[in-house]
Amino acid sequence: MLHFDVMDGIFVNNISYGLPLLEQVRSCTDMILDVHLMITRPERYVERFAKTGADIISFHLEATDDVRGTISAIRAAGAKVSLAIKPATPAQSVFEYLPLVDMVLVMTVEPGFGGQSLIPETLEKVEIIRRRAQETGLDLDIEVDGGINAQTAPEAKKAGANVIVSGSFLFRADDMKKTVELIKEGNKC
């Protein structure tokens, strides 16, 4: 799938792109589009992102006062729901929402910029959330995002992540296809 990072310059200290680019991307691929909203009060925009072609919408727990309403709005618009947390947000803060979402996105760096190193403590949160999902019988996807390369991907998988986002590592690679395979296989480069 293609991970699409939307930044509003308020929730994070950077601005990326939004609906017009998503529309363009949607028109040239059938890939699953995994839209990660790093924006304040995402409930204002989730319907438009879904209608523009997002298959999965991740929004941040820290960005809204209405987590349940945002989940419902994404579902009503026909997209899958993913709840994202920043590195400083405790794993336990997503527990009450786990039965309502398809995926939890655990940020493994501070959101806002590519090319950072993975914060090891964030993988402990992946373990905690994976354990909770198993204990409560939930078929939950756990996504990690930030600092993923051929060394950290196997660590993230071991912690319980099954959706692995990689940006800089792939875009800097000489052969992106091979590098994707490398991450999937979990081999060291």
Closest distance to Zn ion from the beta carbon of 93 (Å): 19
Closest CB 137 distance from Zn ion, rounded Å: 28
5 vs 102, which CB is nearer to Zn ion?
Answer: 5
Instruction: Considering the complex, state which of residue 15 and residue 76 has its C-beta at the smaller distance from Zn ion.
Output: 15
**Annotation marks residue 55 as catalytic:** no
The side-by-side arrangement of strands in the sheet containing 103-107 is 2-7, 33-38, 56-60, 80-85, 103-107, 141-145, 163-165
Nearest partner of 45 among 28, 60, 24, judged by Cα? 60
5 a catalytic residue: yes
Minimum CB separation of residue 135 from Zn ion in Å reads 27
Q: Does 5 bind Zn ion (CB under 5 A)?
A: yes
Q: Which of residues 134-153 bind Zn ion (CB under 5 A)?
A: 145
Tell the smallest beta-carbon distance from residue 81 to Zn ion (Å): 15
Per-state percent for the chain, helix, strand, coil, to nearest 5: 40, 20, 40
Instruction: Give phi and psi for 181, each to the nearest 5.
Output: -65, -40
Catalytic residue among 5, 8, 34, 102: 5
Count Cβ neighbours within 10 Å for each residue of 161-188 and write b for 16 or more, e otherwise: bebbbbbebbeebeeeeebeebbeeeee
The footprint of Zn ion on residues 8-67 (CB under 5 A) is 36
| Chain residues in the site for Zn ion (CB under 5 A) | 5, 36, 145
Catalytic positions are 5, 145
